[in-house]
Amino acid sequence: MTYVLIPGAGGSADYWHLLVDELRRRGREAVAVALPAADPHAALPEYAAVVRAAVDPHPRVVLVAQSLGAFTAPLVADHPAVRLLVLLNPMVPAPGETAGDWWAATGHGPARAAYAAAQGRDPHAGVDLAVDFFHDVPAEVTARLLDGAGEPESEAVFVGPNPLRRWPDVPTRVVTGRDDRFFPADFQRRLAVERLGVRPDELPGGHLLALSQPRRLADLLESYTRDN
């Protein structure tokens, strides 16, 4: 079984480097995909084509998609090699929904604000990478990732049409970070149940579990492959 790993916003394959190491220690093949996030003309169909090309050489694949990557993964899950789809702290899309429309449609803003207030943080604060994303990531890993940060995600992937018409007929799992400040766990749980009929599995940690909990995440992924 090969793991094909789809990053979230920014499209950097380097997000997965610790998880790739953990999976390879277990004798697994892992392919971290770099998406053309800085290309102003690249939208979901172009993202899906890049991931499909990464899947093509492998006979049996688990697709793992982080956050915004959940918009790309179901467009590739019809590939005959794909045995399982795993969504990690995901933006679970509805058929035809754009990534730009997702935020208001799901009630993300109020959910994030309520969670911040419950934790004693400013519910009206803007997004802060250190506070919302890297709060539980080791300092040396944070420095590496932020130092190598490229251009932000192109607007095309948020406004371009979403060709998804129905959820693919492939087993789907959802993994939630119990301490995710950007997509709070209760919000993720509701969305996964409403849109997929799936109750998430939870791990301790925030939005970037592949950086903060790579070993636990690898263990969980391996438990899924034993069931497929």
The C-alpha atoms of residue 112 and residue 132 are separated, in whole angstroms, by 10
Concatenating the DSSP letter of every residue in 150-203 gives -SPPPTHHHHS-----S--SS-EEEEEETT-SSS-HHHHHHHHHHHHS-PPEEE
- Output the pLDDT for position 228: 59
Collapsing DSSP to helix, strand or coil, 137 comes out as coil
The structure tokens listed for 126 are: 């803007």
- Output the pLDDT for position 177: 98
- Output the pLDDT for position 226: 82
Contacts of 91 (CB under 8 A, 6+ apart): 67, 68, 70, 71, 99, 102, 183
One-letter amino acid for residue 69 of the chain:
G
Query: In whole angstroms, what separates CA 66 from the centre of its chain?
Result: 1
Exposure on the CB side of residue 82, measured as CA atoms within 13 A? 25
Question: What are residue 182's phi and psi, to 5 degrees?
Answer: -85, -45
What is the extent of the structural domain holding 150? 2-226
- Could you give the dihedral angle defined by the CA atoms of residues 212, 10, 173 and 24, in that order, rounded to the nearest 10 degrees? -60
Could you read off the pLDDT of 100-151 as tens digits, one per residue? Answer: 999 999 999 999 999 999 999 999 999 999 999 999 999 999 988 887 655 5
Could you read off the pLDDT of 144-193 as tens digits, one per residue? Answer: 888 765 557 889 999 999 999 999 999 999 999 999 999 999 999 999 99
Burial class for 139, CB neighbours closer than 10 Å (0-12, 13-18, 19+): exposed
Q: Band of the pLDDT at 227, cuts 50, 70, 90? A: low
User: Which CATH number fits the domain that encloses residue 206?
Assistant: 3.40.50.1820
The C-alpha atoms of residue 20 and residue 228 are separated, in whole angstroms, by 20
Could you read off the pLDDT of 7-46 as tens digits, one per residue? Answer: 999 989 999 999 999 999 999 999 999 999 989 999 999 9
- Output the pLDDT for position 180: 98
Could you read off the pLDDT of 43-99 as tens digits, one per residue? Answer: 999 999 999 999 999 999 999 999 999 999 999 999 999 999 999 999 999 999 999
Encode burial over 57-84: b for 16+ CB neighbours within 10 A, e otherwise. Answer: ebeebbbbbbbbbbbbbbbbbebebbbb
The structure tokens listed for 55 are: 């899947």
Query: In whole angstroms, what separates CA 106 from the centre of its chain?
Result: 16
Total domains, the chain: 1
- Output the pLDDT for position 149: 59
Collapsing DSSP to helix, strand or coil, 85 comes out as strand
What pTM did the predictor assign? 0.96
- Output the pLDDT for position 151: 58
